[in-house]
Chains A and B, each alone.
Chain A
Amino acid sequence: MLKKEDIEHLSTLARITVSDEEKEAFVSQLDAVLEYVSELGEVATKGDTTPRAGALRNALRADENPYAGGEFTEAILANAPQVENGYVKVGQIM
């Protein structure tokens, strides 16, 4: 059973502000979904957790022929909320 504190913990981990009323709603909604999916505990699995989607292969390219710099800079910076001297400007980190 989830509690409000769990939602608060999750919202801190996920960096998402959740209002108080929403916390209540999310507790019951997430609980319902978690209860449903916990049926997976009934399934006998061999513990093979190799993820499987598509064809497993080394798709890394050789580290050569880098892109020429500057091709997308203007278009990228046009989307940024704050820009200074060709950099994305952010608040103080440390």
Chain B
Amino acid sequence: MTIDPTTLTIKDAHDALTKKAYTSVELTEAVLSRAKQENPDINAYAELFDDALTAAKEADTLLEKGEGNELTGIPLAIKDNMLMAGKISASGSKILMNHRAVYDGTVVRGLKEAGAVIVGRTNMDEFAMGSSSESCVYGPVKNPIDPTRVPGGSSGGSAASVAMGGALGAFGSDTGGSIRQPASFCGIVGMKPTYGAVSRYGLMAMASSLDQIGPFAKTVADAEILYSAIATHDQHDSTSVPMDHALRTILPRKEKLTIGIPESFVAMDGLDADVRENFRDMIAFLKDAGHTIKTIELPSLPYALSVYYVIMPAEVSANLSRYDGIRYGFSKEADTLAKVYAESRGEGFGKEARRRILMGTYVLSAGYYDAYYNKAVAVRRLIADEFARAFQSVDVIATPTAPSPAYKLGEKSTDPLQMYLGDIFTVPANIAGIPAISVPSGTVVRDSAELPVGIQFMAAPFHEDRLFAIGKDVEKKKSTVPSSVE
């Protein structure tokens, strides 16, 4: 019985494990073997865990008794900014390379309790700042589809781990698109839950009003399994929404959905022509499948990127002030305390982290706070309200996930603004606090390479079910879901 982790889904692996076609140990060994084979080229993983097989054995004990759930015994990868007790958690940064997590984050604890097998921690842009995973202290991550190109970021390692067959699923974090855009670049599914749907306890904070943990998987059904396992209220996270809160009202299931397209936004310059065409084709397919297409107006949407690049650095500058060389992490000895801070941070943080901290400090500083930060918060309000109004007449909103497919390593790393512009379609969901998913939508050609592109859907708060429904319809356009179980 050969296990092929490059095509095996979580769903099929679960079936196989319950039918005892193979054990979690065998499955984990196959996944680890593939991960070890690919990682020298792809660099998806900062570290593969020796104790993964111990967890697999424990999962097998549960499975033998006929116990466990959909994730028991399933090998998964976790982004390096999610705390796992006793493991190095470095957030891709020199300043934390020697830092061992003191506790499990809530999502990690939940996965362990479900009997999932965490095989390693994945590489990422330092402190989740970036859209290419090139700024990682452990080296850049490569795109498994074309290793001369970036996998996207900041959760590029998690995306690559799944795309290369080195994990059956993975978790990352998304503050401005850091799950969805790498999913698009690597040809897999990536999803950001509603703000407050998943606990941030144990996720190293980047921008506290924007961050969410979310899943990567080969299929929408797999992503749904991963999401369901982590979407609960957590008393340790005061921004986590209680299960009985009015916001969590489930609306009745709808067979056919109304899909809103913000036409003027999708028609913008800067979106590659073939990516636009791919998007149009997919919308036409969904229309033929019986869904209704509606043009909507979100007049403030073009400002979402500016709102993001004011609010996010502001929150970053506050959240990263804890890395000061005192309680943990890289520490430079100096003759004054202020110098310990300045030199530990100056040397421990990479360029982009320092850039964003300075940017955030500026927009929050006296004389600029009103013009920048307060203005951004007010525009954020407008954007969120416009989305809420739009969802009164449409069920989901569709855009391409990214304006281009994966670009070459080094292509955008010297011009920060160029890299930021790539986030244009993904940041609105974080700004508005709404859930969003990227589903593979086919390929476009660059330098005779076929590169994946994703289509993005957004829904009203706590309507992830609508995203999974429309995502599964998108999958019907391609050939059937891969299965390798003999």
Chain A residues with CB under 8 Å of chain B are 6-7, 10-11, 13-18, 22, 26, 29-30, 32-34, 36-41, 43, 45-55, 57, 59-61, 72, 75-76, 78-82, 88, 90-93
Contact = CB atoms under 8 A, between A and B. Distances in A.
Interface of B: 85-86, 98-100, 102-103, 195-196, 209-210, 235, 238-239, 241, 245, 247, 300, 303, 305-307, 309-310, 317, 321, 324-329, 331, 334-338, 340-343, 345-347, 349, 351, 354-355, 357-359, 361-362, 365, 371-372, 374-382, 384, 416-417, 420, 433
Given A10-B361, A39-B306, A41-B375, A30 B355 contact: yes
Given A53-B433, A55-B247, A47 B378 contact: yes
A71 B312 CA distance: 34
Contacts of A10: 358, 361-362, 365
A51 B377 contact: yes
A54 B382 contact: no
Contacts of B103: 72
B326 to A, nearest CB: 6
A10 B357 CA distance: 9
B358 A11 contact: yes
Q: Is the interface of B mostly helix, strand, loop or mixed?
A: helix
A77 B305 CA distance: 41
B306 A45 contact: no
Nearest to A73: B102
Q: Which of A11, A52, A93 has the most CB of B within 10 A?
A: A52
Given A6-B362, A33-B359, A91-B336, 14 more contacts: A15-B321, A22-B351, A29-B416, A36-B306, A40-B310, A43-B300, A43-B379, A46-B378, A53-B210, A54-B196, A72-B102, A75-B86, A81-B328, A92-B337
Contacts of B345: 14-17
B380 A26 contact: no
A56 B223 CA distance: 28
Given A33-B309, A46-B378, A16 B238 contact: no
